Structure 1
Amino acid sequence: MLWQSIAPVVDLVFPPRCPICGDAIAVQNGLCSACWSGMVVPGEPACALCRRPFSSDIEHGAICAPCLAEPPRHDGIFAATLYNDPSRKLVLALKHGGKIAMAGMLAGQMAARVPHVGPGWLVVPVPLHRWRLWQRGYNQAVELGRCVARERDARLIVDALERHKRTPSLGGLGRKARERALSGAITVNPRRKDMLRGAQVLLVDDVLTSGATSNACVSALKRAGAKAVAISCYARVLDEGLPG
């Protein structure tokens, strides 16, 4: 492959560095051992519906309290990591630091968490409002989705969802306030409705915090007739899942 042939030259001009701490590493798009050990990968046992890790041994098929209180419309959340300091630095570098080349490394970890996704699936990125897209120059969810789709041999549909209004930061808002802020903000592109009807969809984003945005996306996709909508994110905010 072309990349393999020029990799030694790239490494000579741009010596591989850990994107978190800057230490020298063996290959491009990797992490040093110290930073990698700081990542938290969600494991088992986990909720059968949302994949929220349980803190103790619980029988297979158990459902967490939030899902019991309000059954989700999605068909599973598959996070590559839990949101902590190392994963936050990677997300910020991709999202606000303009380091789009990092999308491949992050998406590789995401793709490994969704082995059930493959040919016949549609990969749909969470949309940005056009003004935010214009300001940033790219949608990080699209860059991640492009790489995940390639890894899983699925089909990327960049414009399946549309964001019609800018929403304020949802941090600190209650559930009802988040729902009001997102009401009518995200809809399905009319030109993609036929494609989505009966489809299995993997919704892709960089971070899943409260789930309000992804829930709005899932609801729009399900209303359009999607058969199943699973969620793939790089980092999921679950403080109770972190060590200590």
Structure 2
Amino acid sequence: MRCENPGRRCVHWHGDGAAAPRWQGVGRAVNGLRHEIGRALAPAVDLIFPPRCPLCGDSIAAQSGLCAACWSELTLPGQPACAACQCPLSDRTATEAGSLCAPCLDKPPRHAGIFAGTLYDDASRRIVLAYKHGRRLALAPMMGRLIAARLGPLGPDWLIVPVPLHRWRLWHRGFNQAALLAREVQQRCGGTLVVDALLRQRRTRSLGGLGRKARRKELAGAIAINRRRADRIAGANVVLVDDVVTSGATTDACVTALKHAGARDVRIACWARVLDQLRAAKRNARSHRPRAPRDEIAGSASAARQPPPRRCLDPKPSPCTRS
């Protein structure tokens, strides 16, 4: 393709993939060789370091799986559920496919639905922590399979875009967990992977422990479209991939940027979806546990501190045996 600046030397490639420069072909060859070497050495690595379940530590067949007992602990999204936020619906509320819950009816989201592989619970939380912070990158294929099963096949006009990381956080962590999941989803569902469609313009603090309003305020203006990818976003259908969707502040910021760039439908695909109803149910379960009254607890404690009664050895009546 002809360069837009013919009067000066251009360092950017404006052609298509078939006529790419030689250095791009070399890079693909190196990546392919690295992948083949990794596959060849995988049996030796598994022999030296036997695969272990990331949840319980039992021996498993491959690094990218779970044991049978821990598989049963995962909570999969049930039906019927809200088509927008995955909130469980009653049979009376879900009259037809694509039903929405009351909050989504009151304020419809800008995206076309959330497709979560699992619901956020203790098992899915430990998996994502082992994957993201424990560097168990071999879990990405298993996580991607569950996400792809919920998402379904995609046409060639769909773009798969991961939630971006700030460059300093990417440098510190060494990888973008959402980008690895997006690659697994693309291999199973189809579509085109565009890793750098979104950019995080400024570094934000960790969103853990922040409320919904604080999260949205922290992310205001932090995510934008990469100008070099704006033409591909305009008029395209997009699947936005993230590891965990909690309040939706991060994904809403990404959806807003994609919509401003001209994207048509935007779906959200994630490994785990945090539902307020699940957290409320867990809090209620903890608060409704049967507890002994304080008087009984105090009485049992004082009784435990009292010394045992004295035994009198004198057969004659004495003050210690007199009733």
Same fold (TM over 0.5): yes
Equivalent position of 1:222 in the other structure: 259
Partner Cα distance (2:138, 2:62) in 1: 14
Residue 80 (structure 1) shift: 0.3
Which residue of the other structure, out of 59, 82, 95, is the alignment partner of 2:95? 59
Partner AA of 1:198 in structure 2: G
Higher strand share: 1
SS at match of 1:113: helix
What's the % identity of the aligned pairs?
59
Judge conservation of contact 2:186–2:192 (CA < 8 Å) in 1.
yes
Partner Cα distance (2:130, 2:239) in 1: 24
Partner Cα distance (1:79, 1:179) in 2: 21
Residue 192 (structure 1) shift: 0.4
Equivalent position of 1:98 in the other structure: 135
The one-character-per-residue Cα deviations of 1:92-138 (angstroms, maximum 9, x if unpaired) are 11111112222111111111111142432111000011111111111
Residue 34 of structure 2 is aligned to residue 34 of structure 1: no
Equivalent position of 1:49 in the other structure: 84
Give the number of the structure whose alpha-carbon radius of gyration is greater. Answer: 2
For structure 2, the residue ranges without an aligned partner over 5 or more in a row are 1-35, 283-323
Residues paired across the two proteins, number? 243
Partner AA of 1:76 in structure 2: G
Q: Does 47-56 or 36-45 show the bigger shift?
A: 47-56
The one-character-per-residue Cα deviations of 1:64-117 (angstroms, maximum 9, x if unpaired) are 122022110001100000111111111011111112222111111111111142
Judge conservation of contact 2:160–2:182 (CA < 8 Å) in 1.
yes
CA-based RMSD: 2.2
Partner Cα distance (1:18, 1:179) in 2: 36
Which residue of the other structure, out of 60, 65, 68, is the alignment partner of 1:25? 60
Partner AA of 1:186 in structure 2: I
Paired residues for 1:179-218 under 5 Å: 179-218=216-255
Judge conservation of contact 1:188–1:220 (CA < 8 Å) in 2.
yes
Judge conservation of contact 1:79–1:234 (CA < 8 Å) in 2.
yes
Instruction: For CA contacts below 8 A with separation 6 or more, give which structure has more relative contact order.
Output: 1
Which residue of the other structure, out of 270, 274, 278, is the alignment partner of 1:233? 270
Residue 11 (structure 1) shift: 4.2
Equivalent position of 1:131 in the other structure: 168
Q: Does 102-111 or 181-190 show the bigger shift?
A: 102-111
Residue 149 of structure 2 is aligned to residue 112 of structure 1: yes
Q: Does 21-30 or 41-50 show the bigger shift?
A: 21-30
For structure 1, the residue ranges without an aligned partner over 5 or more in a row are none
Judge conservation of contact 2:239–2:269 (CA < 8 Å) in 1.
yes
Equivalent position of 2:191 in the other structure: 154
Partner AA of 1:34 in structure 2: A
Residue 116 of structure 2 is aligned to residue 76 of structure 1: no
